[in-house]
Amino acid sequence: MKEDTITYLLISLAIVLVLAFAMVGAQIFKLYEEEVTILNKKMETQSLVSQDYLINPVDIKIIKDLAYWNAREKPYELHVYDCTQFSERLVKLLREKGYEAQCTAGYVPSWDYPGHTWTSVWVNGYRFEIESTTGRVLTEEEYSIYNKKWESRCW
């Protein structure tokens, strides 16, 4: 009787875990799909694209995964391993995957330490800005507070 109960509980647990992983995977894919739709609409409104320039969700996933991993690889420490090192490393990772990428430097006036470096990456001719310290692809609104000073240069 005990063995039957244990077997039943293990099978039930396995089913619950499979369903949970399936639901999480579906949510993650849905988020990427929504983000790709938003980015494609953003590009269309700026008259920058034809069908050839629409972004593949795989590119977005690769870029976001690299940026996320890069931002969590090491702890942030001002003047030791900060925005410059995060950006340089992310540029290297993106280039290794075949993306055109560069460090971009400038100022973010609303921050305590305004000198800043972030990453720019191009996908199918369209430029995206990534906050390298957090791994986040910036929206236009978020990027509007960044004042670009130098291209292809870290601090």
Rounded mean pLDDT, 95-111: 92
Q: Which domain holds residue 70?
A: 2-151
- Number of domains, the chain: 1
Give the three-class secondary structure for 46: coil
Reported pTM: 0.66
CA separation for the pair 51, 81 (Å, rounded)? 40
CB 36 within 8 A of CB 63: no
CB burial of residue 41 (10 Å; 0-12, 13-18, 19+) = exposed
Q: What is the pLDDT of residue 152?
A: 80
Has residue 96 got a pLDDT over 50?
yes
The answer to whether residue 19 scores a pLDDT higher than 80 is: no
Report the CATH number at residue 104.
3.10.620
Which of helix, strand or coil describes residue 31? helix
Residue 118, strand partner residues: 104
- How far apart are the C-alpha atoms of 28 and 44, rounded to whole Å? 24
Could you tell me the two tokens for 150?
A: 């130098």
Residue 100 has pLDDT above 60, yes or no: yes
Predicted pLDDT of residue 37: 65
Question: What's the confidence (pLDDT) of residue 21?
Answer: 67
Q: Tokens in use for 17?
A: 């875990």
Is pLDDT larger for residue 13 or for residue 87? 87
Of the candidates 138, 86, 66, which has an alpha carbon nearest to the alpha carbon of residue 108? 138
pLDDT of residue 52: 46
pLDDT in tens, 3-17: 777 777 778 777 877
Residue range 130-135: average pLDDT?
94
Q: Is the dihedral of CA 53, 138, 67, 119 positive or negative?
A: positive
Mean pLDDT, rounded, for 62-72: 92
